[in-house]
Amino acid sequence: MEVYTIGEIAAIAGLQTSTLRYYESIGILPPPRRVSGQRRYSRDVLPILAVIQLAKDADFTLPEIRSLLYDDAASSTPSQRWKALAHAKLREVNAVIARAQEMKQLLEEGLECDSLLYELDSCALLAERLQPALENN
């Protein structure tokens, strides 16, 4: 079996060597075999690094990635864990999208107001927000 130094495997994976050491230190990358104190990796680590990068691109946290790769307590497969994490992440993403759409709408409506501070009557956006306060007084 061919083995690679940390620099070689990092270059193949498109990562920094410090990233590999960090992943190892937090338990999302298994410790490699050592030869004379130096890390030696097999190509078997490349799919794990690809999954880590995919999960990071999907905005999974490092604890979520660790759970995805190594959570055997639930007796579930990595595929089942991916699906559960992906469903939860989709809910988060949908909430972010909804909030971004609200922000976009507010900004677009605000562009129609000539003066937010001095012409309250001419700005429907502010009038809508002030109405409940005015009704209570």
pLDDT band at residue 115 under the 50/70/90 scheme = low
Whole-number pLDDT of residue 75: 72
Q: pLDDT by residue (tens digit) across 9-34?
A: 999 999 999 999 999 999 999 999 99
DSSP assignment of 86-125, as one string?
HHHHHHHHHHHHHHHHHHHHHHHHHHT-S-TTT-GGG-HH
CATH number, span 1-60: 1.10.1660.10
Whole-number pLDDT of residue 70: 85
Domain residue spans of the chain = 1-60, 71-137
Burial of 17 (0-12, 13-18, 19+ CB in 10 A): middle
CB 67 within 8 A of CB 31: no
